Amino acid sequence: MHQIQGVIRGINEMRQFACFGTETFFESPHDVQYQRKNGSMILLKEAVKECVGMDIDKSETMSDWTKEVLTINQILYAAMDVLTVRYVWKGHRINLG
């Protein structure tokens, strides 16, 4: 684990990371989660809808991520999570029509 952390720290020095919510693993990531005017935190699903214009399915969140081999749906879900955080961070809108 320490070796992986070292590699990620090295990558962190070369690249900018974005996260959704508090993330202490990376040094100075761009946290794209924000608070509403009433003080509540926005959910990723809501941020993607508001900023990107796309509905996302978060049902895979509660699946078993401790399995040695992830399902294809879990892999796709993880990739979708990464991409949507980037889209929210950069303010990209997706044209689905």
Residue identified by tokens 């990531």 is: 29
Token pair belonging to 7: 């590699």
pLDDT at 8 over 90: no
CA distance 23 to 95: 30
**Which pLDDT score, from 0 to 100, does residue 72 have?**
94
Residues 54 and 94 sit within 8 Å (Cβ to Cβ) = yes
Give 39's contacts (C-beta < 8 A, 6+ positions apart). Answer: none
Q: What's the whole-number mean pLDDT along residues 57-61?
A: 84
pLDDT at 82: 84
What is the reported pTM? 0.61
Strands 30-31 and 18-19: parallel
CA separation for the pair 54, 48 (Å, rounded): 6
Q: Which amino acid is at 82?
A: V
CA–CA dist 23, 17 (Å, integer): 10
